Copies of this chain bind each other. A is one copy, B any other.
Amino acid sequence: MRKLNIALIGYGFMGRAHSNAWRQVRSFFDVPYEPVLKVICGRDEAKVSKAAYRFGWEKHSTSWEDVVAGKDIDLVDICSPGDTHLPIVVAAAREGKFIFCEKPLANTLAEAEEMLAAVRASNCLHMICHNYRRAPAVALARELIGAGRIGQIYHYRGTYLQDWLVDPDFPRVWRLEKAIAGSGALGDLLSHSIDLAQHLVGEITEVSGLLKTFIAERPVPGSHMTDSVEVDDAALSLVRFKNGAVGSIEASRFATGRKNQNRFEINGSRGSIVFNLERMNELELYIDEGPESGFRTIQVTGKGHPYIEGWWPPGHIIGYEHTFTHTVLDLLKAIDDQRLPNPNFEDGVRNQRVLDGVARAAESRKWESVSQTV
């Protein structure tokens, strides 16, 4: 079996999820390369060392520059905060590595465009990680839409709702600081709804926007002080698609009781589709067929369902992290086929254009156009 040496930058939530995907993929799927978990990189020596042991990496490092320059490294996987993406990508592109980067591509549109230019200049293979595209139910939704099962699309209704900021005593962490996080619900959550919208419906060309911060000051951990929240708690937008469909998308960290409700509903001329990440193994489908019509709940765990052949018998559900396993599987296949995987940095830039449009519209209090030419 051919091997592919991986370097991972970042050992937080995403680092853990990506590590698992690289470690597990060969046990469940036929892969063209056996991924080798070569090195994991982070700023805190003690923590990254422990992460290397737990997540199964051969080595650890505290210098991403060294790691990216490593001759034995084939692929650089970037899971560090958004403000670090640009320099790492530029360096990795210069080294001609395969590049896999967490979303959103960058904290600003300008950085994202620069990253795309860098990978194009180096002609290296690049992918952005929008893992939810590869939940089997979402992949099935894409197949059904592609086959015309729900006809022409009229409506997209997307929400990404969480509630972890409702508590006013929740501290003022780095995710609430603009310089590091870029934005709040907008980049963290709405970017997922936008990616799914463009993946399933098509290009967004116009947006209106509303950004809201409900709680302006939060306690600074380990002090008696508070500091200001610099990012949005909620982001809402109405959108128009190039193909005539209209949509509403909304993300919030203040939706009490909604833990991870990445949900969309798509209404077409012949049917409708609903997905909710909290019930990730299910897809709701409505097809107009007279008195027997109804929204059906497909358990997307059976014969003929995307990615399921690697897992368990029907009705034995898979978990959140498996969406990453599917993503690295398809990345390995793209490397083997020497083609650009999907979604890649072009999609990342298109996503960032919409995020930027929503922010502009929230500021101008007008509808704003969005260019999708990359």
> Using a CB–CB distance below 8 Å, which chain A residues touch chain B?
13, 17, 19-20, 23-24, 26-27, 54-56, 140, 144, 149-150, 154-155, 157, 159, 161-164, 166, 208, 210, 212, 214, 234, 236-238, 240, 244, 246, 248, 250, 252, 254-261, 267-272, 277-280, 282-288, 290-299, 301-305, 311-322, 365-367
| Distance of A246 Cα from B255 Cα, bound (Å) | 12
| A256 & B286 in contact (Cβ 8 Å cutoff) | yes
A159 — which chain B residues lie within 8 A by C-beta?
157
| A315 & B248 in contact (Cβ 8 Å cutoff) | no
**Top 8 A-B residue pairs of the complex, sorted by shortest distance between their CB atoms:** A260-B315, A259-B315, A257-B286, A319-B319, A296-B296, A294-B296, A291-B304, A294-B298
Nearest residue, chain B, Cβ from A288? B256
| Distance of A272 Cα from B284 Cα, bound (Å) | 18
| B257 & A301 in contact (Cβ 8 Å cutoff) | no
Nearest residue, chain B, Cβ from A151? B256
CB distance from A303 to the nearest CB of B (A): 7
| Distance of A27 Cα from B159 Cα, bound (Å) | 32
Q: A246-B212, A298-B292, A319-B322 are in contact. Are A257 and B238 (CB under 8 A)?
A: no
| Distance of A121 Cα from B140 Cα, bound (Å) | 54
| Distance of A297 Cα from B296 Cα, bound (Å) | 6
A290 — which chain B residues lie within 8 A by C-beta?
303-304
A302 — which chain B residues lie within 8 A by C-beta?
259, 291
Q: A290-B304, A291-B140, A299-B278 are in contact. Are A246 and B257 (CB under 8 A)?
A: no
| A258 & B248 in contact (Cβ 8 Å cutoff) | no
Nearest residue, chain B, Cβ from A278? B315
| B13 & A313 in contact (Cβ 8 Å cutoff) | yes
| A248 & B246 in contact (Cβ 8 Å cutoff) | no
| B13 & A23 in contact (Cβ 8 Å cutoff) | no
CB distance from A263 to the nearest CB of B (A): 11
A27 — which chain B residues lie within 8 A by C-beta?
19-20, 23, 54-56
| Distance of A164 Cα from B192 Cα, bound (Å) | 31
Q: A248-B250, A272-B258, A293-B257 are in contact. Are A210 and B212 (CB under 8 A)?
A: no
| B319 & A317 in contact (Cβ 8 Å cutoff) | yes
CB distance from A10 to the nearest CB of B (A): 16
A248 — which chain B residues lie within 8 A by C-beta?
236, 238, 248, 250
CB distance from A302 to the nearest CB of B (A): 7
| Distance of A141 Cα from B174 Cα, bound (Å) | 37
Q: A13-B313, A296-B295 are in contact. Are A301 and B259 (CB under 8 A)?
A: yes
| A318 & B315 in contact (Cβ 8 Å cutoff) | no
Out of B236, B238, B256, which one reaches A246, CB within 8 Å?
B236
| Distance of A248 Cα from B257 Cα, bound (Å) | 18
CB distance from A370 to the nearest CB of B (A): 14
A317 — which chain B residues lie within 8 A by C-beta?
278, 280, 317, 319-320
| Distance of A301 Cα from B214 Cα, bound (Å) | 26
A237 — which chain B residues lie within 8 A by C-beta?
238
Q: A291-B304, A366-B365 are in contact. Are A246 and B234 (CB under 8 A)?
A: yes
| Distance of A248 Cα from B251 Cα, bound (Å) | 11
Q: A26-B54, A55-B27, A295-B297 are in contact. Are A312 and B321 (CB under 8 A)?
A: yes
